[in-house]
Amino acid sequence: MKFSRYKRDMPFSYALGATLSYELLKTNPNLIRRVFLRPNIKHGDDLAKIINQLKAQNIDISESNKAFNVLGAKENCLLIAEFDKPTSTLSYDTTTPQIALVNPSDTGNLGTIMRSAVAFGYQNIAIITPAVDAYDPKTIRASMGAVFHLNIQTFPSFDDYLESCTKNNPTSSRTLYSFMLAKTAHTLPQVTPQNKNYTLIFGNEASGLPADFATKTQPVFIPQSENVDSLNLSVAASIAMYHFCQR
């Protein structure tokens, strides 16, 4: 059986584990190419349920240790789904808020942001490259399957993202909130969006957002003690999403 170690430029990726694969099956069954099952294991109720549903959809299931070894799956990972990466585009509707991540560099953070985004009703995430891979098995795992509920589109620069906003909705005037420390920044509790036509923008874990975002967008700062340098990126993004979705 032919099997490839995951690489970013491949058109397909892997959901490691029955729970993640079940999220994939619920949301995007047509993307699943084939499924690997760890040989010689007892099938509990949850595993039996997903296997039955995969069979009902005529998805190819084969027992093989190779996939588990090559992908470094943990012992408790019993099922792997190989799937075509979706090619989604963002919704630019004026009632659709968006998240823009500029150069995120950690798969754990990106996955956790996805999980919070789905939790708080944000379905559209723009990723500005260079960035970690939204469909890396590690990102998928950290997202707990939330990645399969999202429209994700990558852009080579923030200006390309803005151009795409204008091109797809010429009359829309999207409000851009950049999370950063800046003299002109409002603190998060002060900010109340007028409508849902906004984007929350977050920078890289180490370097944050470029300084010119303070003038070309509306800077926002989460009040915090001087005893820490910053909040964790996924924490900051999640607090921001929580705040905005409450208003």
Residue numbers of the site for a second copy (CB under 8 A)?
108, 112, 115-116, 118-121, 144, 146, 149, 189, 222, 224-225, 227-229, 231-232, 234-235, 238-239, 242, 246
Residue 63 CB, nearest distance to a second copy (Å)? 27
Residue 239 CB, nearest distance to a second copy (Å)? 5
206 CB neighbour count, 10 Å cutoff: 10
Mapped to the 3 state alphabet, what secondary structure does 89-148 carry?
Answer: CCCCCCCCCEEEEECCCCHHHHHHHHHHHHHCCCCEEEEECCCCCCCCHHHHHHCCCHHH
Nearest Cα neighbor of 123 from 95, 142, 82 is 95
Residue 123 CB, nearest distance to a second copy (Å)? 9
Which amino acid, residue 193? P
Of 171 and 227, CB closest to a second copy: 227
Residue 9 CB, nearest distance to a second copy (Å)? 26
User: Helix, strand or coil for residue 2?
Assistant: coil
Of 87 and 225, CB closest to a second copy: 225
Of 165 and 180, CB closest to a second copy: 180
Of 149 and 186, CB closest to a second copy: 149
Contact present, 211 and 244 (Cβ < 8 Å): no
